[in-house]
Structure formats: C-alpha cells, structure tokens
Amino acid sequence: MSKAPPAVATLPPQAQPQINLLPKDPLEAQFSQLFPHPWNWIKSEGSGWKTITQYPLQPRDLIRYWRDPHTLVGVSFDSQTAYGLLDLDIGGDYHPLTNPAALEGIKAALEDVGIARSLLLRSSDSDGVWLLIPLTKPVSSFRLSQVLHGTLKKAGFSIRPGHLEVFPNLKHWDAAYHAHRLPLQQGSCLLDNDLQPLGSSLEAFLRAWKSAAAGQDIDTLESSLGTYQGIKPTSRESERARAFREDLQARITAGWTGDAQTNDLLLDIGRLCRIFHRLGGNLLVKKISELAQSLPGYHQHCDHQHEIERRAKDVARWAEKRYQPIGFQQAITEPMSPRGPNNIDKAKDAQERIKAAVAAIETGATLPTRASEWRDAIAQQGISPRTLYKYPHLWHPEHRIKVASASIPVKQDKPLSLPSQAAPSQLEELGPLKDGFGIHSPYKKCMSSNESPLAEPFPLKPFPNPHPNPELLSESTEQPQQVGQATKISRVREVALGSGTLADLPSLPKHPVHLKQLLQAKQHQELGQKGLPNPAEVEVTSSQLEAAGILGYSAPPEHGWTFRRGELSPRLWKRLRRVVFATLLNLSQD
C-alpha cells in the first residue's frame, strides 16, 4: 500500500496576495498563505530591521528569506487578518520566568471574548514567548486590536514595549500596523504548556494552527468585535497627560529662535488647543493664529506671516482629525468655513499670494533680474514653481505687464431695439465668415483704430466703445457713418439671436464684440459641433476675467483684453472660453 500523504492544515479563506507565485513545496505554500499581506514587510540581515515599502513581498521570496539562516523576515497586517499575536519579552513583567501566573491570567481573559485556544512559541534565541491566536476566517484587524487591548487592560495588564505587545496594534487611521517576524526562524520553535520545546517542524506547526483555529468560539468573538466600544475617556487628567501638556507649553513658550520652525510650532499649538483647550472649528483656527502671532520671535523669524491664517486653518483641520479633547466634556466648537474652495477660488487665492509675494520682494533693497531668480525668491515665501508657472504674467520678467488703471470717459449707449423680423440676406450684408471664427466688417474698422501698441506675449487691445445710435438718443447728431455702424450692430444682434428676443438672454452684453462672439457660437452650434468654439483668440472684459479667476489686469469696465490661444495654460484657456461662450448661449460645459 502506498503511504498516505501527511495531513496539513486547511487555510482560512482570506485574501490572496496580488502576485500568486507560490512556492513549489505544498507545506511552504500553505505557510506563506497564512501571512498574505505583502506590503510594509521587514527584513534583517544582522544589522537591524529595515522596513521595505518600495515593493511587495512575494510568497516565493518570503519562503526564501524564511529558509535563510542569516536572514530574518517579518510581515505586517492588512485591513483584515486571520490571526493575532501577543509577545511576552524575556525580563518583562509577564514573561513566565518572571511571573508564572501571568500567562494563565492572559489566557483566561481572552476566553471571555471567544479566544479559547492559542499556540505557544519561543520567538527567537532571546527566549521571548509568543501567544499565537489563529482564527478560522478573517476579521477586522482594527477591531481585533481593540478587543485584545481592551480585554487585557480590563484584566489589569499593561501593554507596553519590552513587557507585553499586541499584534495587530492599535494605530491611527493613517498609520501602518507594526510588523512582526515570522515564526519558526532562527531560535523559534513550538512550546508545550510547560514551555518545553516541541521542535520547529513546519508540518507540526500547520497541524497546531488548524487545531487551535477550530477551537475558537468564533460567534462570541464576532459579537465582541461588533459591540466593543473602545476605551472611554477619564474625567481627570492623568500624570502622562499632565506631563504632555507641560512639555507642549514649554516648547511653545520659547517661540521662534530661528528659521524653519513655523511648522513644528504650529503643530504643537494645534495639539495644545485641541486636546487641552478643547477647541474646534473656527475657534480653534482663531486660537492657533492668535497664539502663534503672540509668541517671541514671530516677526523676526516666521516666514509665513502673510499666510498665517491659512496655515492655522490647515493645522486646525489636521488636529481635529487626529486628536480628541481630553476628558468627558465636549469640544467648544464653531463650524469651520467650508473646506473646499472651488477651482476658481483656489486660483484667485494663488494669484493673490503671488501678487503679495512680488510686492514684498519689490520692497527689498535689490530686485531679481532673471526669471530663475524671481522664481526662487517667490518660492521662499511658500509658493511652488508649479503654481508660479500657471500665472507668468504676475511675476515673470518677460511676461509681466503692469497696466495702470485709467478713467476714460465714455458716452454710454442706450439699449438697441430689435427689428420685428430678420431678412434672410442679413448675413450676406455683414460679410463672409473667416475660418468660422472671425468676421470682417463691421468690426475690423472700429477695432483697428483703437488697437493698443502693447507687444507680445500678451497683445492687449482695448475694446472699442460702440457708437451710440442717433435714432435712439434724445439728442440726435448728424453722423451718417455712426448710423450705419449702429444699424449693422443691430442686424448682427438679430441674426445671432435668431427668432428670440433680448429677454431670452437677459445677461447678453450690449457690445458689438460680444455679439460677434455670440454669432461665432451660434454658427458653431448650427454646424453640429460639440463643446464650445475654440477660436484663435477671444476678447473679454475685466469682469469676465475675474469670473474666470484670472487676476492681475485692471481697466475701465468699458475696456477689455484680447487673449490668443497658447498665451494661457490649457486649463485657464478652457475656463476663459467657458465664460465667454457658455454664458452667452447656455451651452453645456465641454
């Protein structure tokens, strides 16, 4: 008769590694699947532990390192786990050689939450003892850590390094779980109840794992995981909390003593105000800002004075997520302003910060001359180069344009009336369309006389003031050319609006350039083209620039600018076209 293959453990149905290249040996393959989380693993080759985060640990590599007598390897936890681990260090308060009754007390406490069986192992040559807790199916790693910590603390055990450690550990939501070395490596073996070695056979380990997992009261454990409420706060400030508060106050009171200290000081202020002052929301923001500005050295060494309110808000949001007020009392809070400025608000904020930085540099003794010098000088005030190059017209010496505000008296025209019907030949009278975007007469003549001599890369042209229609003015003037011009403008308006009236588009500006752009959009829509027109240039007013989030240009309301494609970033160009065309025709955003 052929010999039956040895019985091995049946693995719990937990998540498989992303790269399923298992070892050839079936026992080693099953062993590697007991520890499936491939990230944040640790490795030691005699010079200390190193955490590897750059790439995952594949099962074949795990076994190769595990076999190597000169290498130690360890793993961490994912969001779910099918085992837990307690580590009793040699010389600690709860090691069996120090406190023989502690081990039985730990086992008894765990039985109350459904953990009835466990494996005893020697962790390494250091003679530390492991209590390994196999489960039949994966459970929440965080919930398991809560139950283990809470149960042991309730039973009177102190969880601290060097005495008693729990895996998976309690952690903050944005931190990784601690890693532990794999069992059965150098110096590790199974132990019996009398702490005598049973050997390091992989087959025996898998048998023991299966037996212990089957002995758990999984229903009681799942009930404990679902109902555990965590550790409640105490009404009194503990000695550790008092020491923490005093350390924070001592560091904060010293204030700024040099450069590059703003971030650390603001974080300490945020901790103090959130935990011990029990503040939240806008009250927390205000307190952080006020306390920071009152500290010694703030005006001499803080490089973020121009944005201290924004930095205080960032720190307040961070502190609210990470810390809770001490004691039973609720936080004294005031709703914080909505976090997320939209893209236009963010763009305005970025441009205002660039302008403030440029103004601060201009007040100095020496001014940068080259673009790289300007970039580096502004970057020192907390503005990244990526943000700077989105708005070169605000700082770049080759792109920057200073436009002086001027008050130009312009005679306002009265609203133009629409003819009752539009003749089919009106488009022909207006002249042909040029490439689907530009129109020849009647705008070419009136714009050419007022073009601005400003040079590239931003050739800005003031909009022409439309001549008033003498037929609609209370006092008529004898200007035949102006009458013809106004008549053509009226015809453009009628053709662009089709059979509609001005009431259908109440926001339509009464300006020939906008009528020209409206006609472009109309033709674009009639040709069945999707999205918005993408002409070679667009003409906008100061209010439209502000609506698009592009700052730095000032001019009388009757004037505007011409931007050519390529002079702005694709994002700003798209936003500008949306303001110009979508608001006129109520088209869908592209």
Please write the tens of the pLDDT for every residue from 85-105. 999 999 899 999 989 899 999
**With 80 as the cut, is the pLDDT of residue 31 above it?**
yes
pLDDT band of residue 380 (cuts 50, 70, 90) is confident
pLDDT, average across residues 537-565: 66
Other Cβ atoms closer than 10 A to 287: 20
pLDDT at 531: 55
pLDDT at 416: 38
Name which residue leads in pLDDT, 376 or 457: 376
Cβ neighbors of 288 (< 8 A, separation 6 or more) are 266, 269, 270, 273, 312, 315, 316
Please write the tens of the pLDDT for every residue from 507-537. 444 444 555 566 666 656 555 555 556 677 7
Contact (CB, 8 A) for 466 and 486: yes
Please write the tens of the pLDDT for every residue from 464-489. 433 344 333 333 334 444 444 444 44
pLDDT at 173: 76
Its CATH class, for the domain covering 26-227, is alpha beta
Contact (CB, 8 A) for 375 and 536: no
**With 90 as the cut, is the pLDDT of residue 184 above it?**
yes
The tokens for 478 are 């004898």
Computed over every residue of the chain, the mean pLDDT equals: 75
User: Per mean pLDDT, which range of 3-12, 29-38, 545-554 is the poorest?
Assistant: 3-12
Q: Is 8 exposed, middle or buried (0-12, 13-18, 19+ CB in 10 A)?
A: middle
Other Cβ atoms closer than 10 A to 170: 17
The tokens for 541 are 């007013």
Please write the tens of the pLDDT for every residue from 67-89. 999 999 999 999 999 999 999 99
pLDDT band of residue 551 (cuts 50, 70, 90) is low
pLDDT at 525: 59
pLDDT band of residue 6 (cuts 50, 70, 90) is very low
Helices (H), 58-162: 59-67, 100-111, 141-154
**With 70 as the cut, is the pLDDT of residue 123 above it?**
yes
User: Per mean pLDDT, which range of 122-126, 261-265, 478-482 is the poorest?
Assistant: 478-482
